[in-house]
Amino acid sequence: MNITAIYAGTFDPVTRGHQDVLARASRMFEQIVVAVAASPGKQPLFDLQQRVQLMQQAVARHDNIRIEPFNGLLVEFAAQQGATVIVRGLRSVTDFDYEVQIASFNRQMHPEIETVFVAADREFSFISSTLVREIASLSGDVSAFVDPLVEQALKKRFEQR
Ligand code: COA
């Protein structure tokens, strides 16, 4: 089987938790498309182009992962990209109800696209991009949570403010 899976998020910024889910997904599926959502409602710190670029650097060692920006419905974008699997990371039980609800909506819209959950490594299960941004904005050390290139980008971004 030659399966293309899609892993979507705002990635503002990409964290070691996302990288961990992606590393495992890249071993499970032949091709992975990382869909970087515009998410204008979240008013991201990094613009879409920067988030795509940071993601490209974060997954550079995997030759079966490509990055695409997207706007709109995830299932529609997945179908356009030829993906038949949506990968979602599950960090804890609090993610579970919401994720099952989203998966059910997505299945209703595109029954041929299956959602697969990947359990986040315990080491990363508490990370969120919002808290990483908050710590960086207060000059805290985020090196345990993000790639060194992301750490540098956060420093630069907050120096500009
Ligand atoms: N490690 C670390 N952090 C993780 C993580 C992991 N494994 N998995 C999730 N997170 C974090 C994310 O960084 C995010 O943090 P934040 O809220 O502080 O930014 C949070 O957990 C929630 O993640 P997620 O649910 O993936 O939200 P998101 O904003 O990153 O992405 C989309 C959401 C874009 C995937 C979703 O809104 C979407 O599909 N939108 C398209 C519109 C659509 O199809 N809507 C209909 C749905 S039925």
pLDDT in tens, the chain (161 residues): 899 999 999 999 999 999 999 999 999 999 999 999 999 999 999 999 999 999 999 999 999 999 999 999 999 999 999 999 999 999 888 889 999 999 999 999 999 999 999 998 989 989 999 999 999 999 999 999 999 999 999 999 999 87
104 is catalytic: no
For position 145, what pLDDT does the model report?
97
Annotated catalytic residue within 26, 51, 129, 133: 129
Q: What is the 3-state secondary structure (H, E, C) of 5-33?
A: EEEEECCCCCCHHHHHHHHHHHHHCCEEE
91 is catalytic: yes
CB 68 within 8 A of CB 36: yes
CA–CA separation, 99 and 21 (whole Å): 15
Q: Which helix (H) or strand (E) holds 115?
A: strand 114-119
CA–CA separation, 78 and 82 (whole Å): 6
Closest C-alpha to ligand 1, atom 8: 89
R_g of the chain computed on alpha carbons: 15
Closest C-alpha to ligand 1, atom 9: 89
What is the DSSP annotation of 70-112? E-S-HHHHHHHTT--EEEEEE-SHHHHHHHHHHHHHHHHH-TT
Q: How many angstroms is it from 42 CA to the middle of ligand 1? A: 11
For position 94, what pLDDT does the model report?
85
129 is catalytic: yes
Does residue 131 sit in helix, strand or coil? helix
Cβ of 124 closer than 6 Å to ligand 1, yes or no, is yes
For position 92, what pLDDT does the model report?
85
For position 31, what pLDDT does the model report?
98
